[in-house]
Structure 1
Amino acid sequence: MRFFGLKSCDTCRKALKSLALAGHVPAVIDVRADGVTEADRATIVAQFGDAAINRASTTWRGLSDAEKAADPASLLATHPTLMKRPVIEADGQWTVGWKADVQAKYLGD
């Protein structure tokens, strides 16, 4: 299991704590400190498209209209913190966010 997130993200911290309590030990990739490989970024965009972009983030609000019009792959390459978090890859299956459906998938609730 790989966990793409930010160390400073409250949702990511909650998700990691819940995953650990459920017995998961994900490899954590901090999108700011570690970056996201081009292959992973391409897979995330292919899987989620525009849903991979966190439009509620401070980074998004700071972008110009022209920057906001860019395609998701370009946005994530330039601003990796725009990625909706967390993105989790487990056994070739990808999820984005930490809503009830994702929690049920990994926590069995």
Structure 2
Amino acid sequence: MRIYGLKTCDTCRKALKSLPDAELVDVRTQGVPPEVMARALAQFGEKLLNTRSTTWRGLSEAERARAPLDLLADHPTLMKRPLIETKGRLYLGWGAEVQADLV
């Protein structure tokens, strides 16, 4: 099981604590494999972008209009976190539904 997120993200830390066998992949330093990111975008669409983040608010309108995969490649912290990959499935966030499936 892999958790794509940030070492400094509270939500990612909560997920990691609840899933002790999971490996944290820091998107800032290690990135997300392109094939995983493409699958996540196909599954979650625009929900994959964290439009409430300070990174998003700092972008110009022209930058916000770019393709999501290009934006995420340039600004990996724009990804909603955590993105969890396990047994061929992807989960986004750490809400009650995700917790019920994984914990």
Please report the TM-score for the alignment, with normalisation by the length of structure 1.
0.90
1:80 pairs with 63, 76, 82, which one?
Answer: 76
Residue 36 of structure 1 corresponds to which residue in structure 2? 32
Residue 105 of structure 1 corresponds to which residue in structure 2? 101
* Unaligned segments of structure 1, at least 5 residues: none
Report the aligned-residue RMSD.
Answer: 0.9
1:62 equivalent in alignment to 2:62: no
Partner SS, residue 50 of structure 1:
helix
* Unaligned segments of structure 2, at least 5 residues: none
Q: CA deviation at 1:15?
A: 1.1
Identity over aligned pairs, percent: 57
Partner SS, residue 85 of structure 1:
coil
CA offset digits 1:58-88 (Å, max 9, x no partner): 1111100111111211111111110000000
Size of the alignment, in residue pairs? Answer: 103
Partner SS, residue 29 of structure 1:
strand
**Runs of 4+ residues over 2 Å off in structure 1:** none
Q: Distance in 1 between matches of 2:46 and 2:11?
A: 20
Q: Distance in 1 between matches of 2:83 and 2:53?
A: 16
Q: CA deviation at 1:106?
A: 0.6
